[in-house]
Structure 1
Amino acid sequence: MQRFGLGAVLALIGAGVGLGATGAAADGRLEARYRLSLGGLELGRAAYLLEVDDKAYVASGSARLTGVVQAVSSGKGAAGARGAIDRGTLQPRSFAMEAESDRKNEAIRLVMSGAAVTDMSVEPPVLPALDRVPVTEKDKRNIFDPMTATLIMVPGTDNPLSAKACGRTLSIFDGRQRYDIELIFDRMDNVKAEKGYAGPAVVCRIAYRPVAGHKPDRKSVKYMMNNKDMFVWLAPVAGTRMLVPFRAQVATLLGVAELEAQSFITEPTVGRKAAASTTGQ
């Protein structure tokens, strides 16, 4: 299966940049569940949890194969990230990912400070190869992990559901590869989950630009670099100026891979925390 196509969809919910907002990010919570499909055929299910206040954020996600694919191959994974919010900017502190399949198990852990990786472990390790662009120490600086990249913060005081949500480049390091994801405003749209959110979403076109850790001559890499059919629908997290993926669509060599929220439940938590504090006095 074309690896980047499905991998990019999963990375969009955490299987990668928040842009600084002016003022506090406020407090909010999101619990979402997604369906992953390829060519209309269900491949898996994913879950995503986000909790954020004006000082920190914690995000976690999990995914597993389902349907007919589960009969021929098993697979599941989980990822999590946490970081600080200082003067309206996201500062990732840690990222961890584990995945299991019939063929291999993977585990990646990153520790970050000042938008740079200070410690990391990757299992199985990346083996040197003549046809692979090497990852340098420079490639591990000024980056965000894949999960932090699902948090899009819109600066200013205008409605965050606007073209401003796009128009940015996400510099991502996932432990194996360093790449850029460019978001380009495409249009506004309306979305509706079976449970939870129904309303406007910002649609961004996605462009993939590999930097290091990839094999330039690989057919799948060339395909994704020239892929014009990759989109993400961003929906708001209540009580914050954050947007996160509600839906993602990526054309792959095997058909269109799509991730769409079946449940998207979000609520502000400032009032709830204040009430709890008052009750405890």
Structure 2
Amino acid sequence: MMYQVSSRRVFACVAGLAVTALGAFLFTPSPLATAAPTPPGISPVRVDASYRITLNGFNLGNFQFKSDVGRNRYTLDTDVEISALLGVFKWKGVTRTSGSLRASSPKPADFRFDYESTVRNGSVAMGFAEDRIERLTVLPTTAEPADWVPLSASHLKGVVDPLSAILAITHGDASTPCGRKLAIFDGKQRFDIALRFARKEPVAGIPDETAIVCRVKYTPIAGYRANAETQQLAETNDIEIVFRMVPAAKLMLPQSVTLPTPAGSARIDLEKVNVEISDRGQLASVD
């Protein structure tokens, strides 16, 4: 069944897009911190967020995100749980990355992804040296299908892991989160993600405020199957992230992520976020 075969890649992609959106918190002060000037550089901050995952309006699972960013180092963690087909299909993925911050840019050091499902269990472990992969272990080892687009050494250079990408895409003082492009390697696939401005729309329940919608373009480079599923995902223009802007805090608050899948429309919606700026001991929460 196509849904079962494609679920891990599709929903890992959905979760990754949500993490990318959520990463805006890591480089912006919370609303409670606007009374005092923001010091230069990146302020130490912790984020704890919860998302709800749905497919065609039906609850599918949850997505938890945690980060701890210091002056010179960072760690990011995600935990995704999906249950579908009345529990016949279950998938759980836990990801962790850590690295250093140089010139306000993330330099990943270690990346770990472990998953288990009713179909297969596995893991990915990567080690970085500067901007290239120097160590890579993928389990289980499997024979590549005939339509596999192979990786080369050049594909492991100039890349970041999916979680470190959230730091790279959200750093800076741009007036919009759109207009960014990332070169990503997730341990199996090398791909690009580009965010482009789509439109503005009203924020529900808040008069005179607008949200910015970024359209996300996925471009496979190597390490993928050249089949109809990948082609459909690469050709779609319907992947979107909705950001609510908070100008006083220079905050890009991701409200939702939408993604078409072979089984219908998938969404990830923000349920709750806590942001703690360690230097000031202040906490902001959004429900």
Q: TM-score, normalized by length of structure 1?
A: 0.81
* Amino acid corresponding to residue 205 of structure 1 in structure 2: R
**Structure 2 stretches of 5 or more lacking a match?**
28-38, 283-287
Contact 1:203 1:232 in 2 (8 A): yes
Q: Residue type matched to 1:211 in 2?
A: I
Say whether the 8 Å CA contact 1:177–1:213 is kept in structure 2: yes
Q: Aligned letter for 1:103?
A: V
What is the aligned partner in structure 2 of residue 46 from structure 1? 63
Q: Alpha-carbon deviations, 1:206-260, whole Å to 9, x = none?
A: 01110001122x11011011111001234689xx978575421101122111011
Q: Taking structure 1 as reference, are residues 130 and 72 closer, same or farther at Cα in structure 2, changes over 3 Å only? A: closer
Matched position secondary structure for 2:150: coil
Where does the alignment leave 5 or more consecutive residues of structure 1 unmatched?
A: 193-198, 274-281
**Partners of 2:47 and 2:275 within 8 A in 1:** yes
Note if 1:260 corresponds to 2:277.
no
Name the residue aligned to 2:88.
72
Query: 1:165-244 alignment to 2 at 5 Å?
Result: 165-188=177-200, 202-216=212-226, 218-234=227-243
Output the CA distance in 2 between the equivalents of 1:190 and 1:63: 30
Identity %, equivalent residues? 25
Contact 2:18 2:268 in 1 (8 A): no
The equivalent residue for 1:90 is 106
Contact 2:18/2:256 (8 A) holds in 1: no
Q: Does 1:100 align with 2:116?
A: yes
Larger displacement relative to structure 2 (133-142 or 122-131): 122-131
CA contact (8 A) 2:20 2:165 kept: no
* CA 1:154–1:181: 2 relative to 1, 3 Å: same
Measured in 2, the distance between the counterparts of 1:15 and 1:166 equals 12
* Aligned alpha-carbon RMSD (Å): 3.1
Quote the Cα distance in structure 2 between the aligned partners of 1:55 and 1:203.
32
In the TM superposition, residue 126 of structure 1 has moved relative to its aligned partner by: 4.7
Instruction: Report matched runs for 1:126-145 at 5 Å.
Output: 126-145=142-161
**Cα distance, 1:108 vs structure 2:** 0.4
Q: What does residue 12 of structure 2 align with?
A: 7
**How far apart are residue 134 of structure 1 and its match?**
0.6
Correspondences of 1:138-157 after superposition (within 5 Å): 138-151=154-167, 152-156=169-173
Give the secondary-structure state (helix, strand or coil) at the position aligned to 1:146.
coil
Structure 1's consecutive aligned runs of 4 or more residues displaced over 6 angstroms after TM superposition are none
Q: Which amino acid in structure 1 is aligned with residue 13 of structure 2?
A: A
Per the alignment, do residues 248 and 222 of structure 1 end up closer, same or farther by CA in structure 2, a change over 3 Å counting?
A: same
Contact kept in structure 2, 1:150 and 1:245, CA below 8 Å: no
Distance 2:150 2:16 in 1: 22
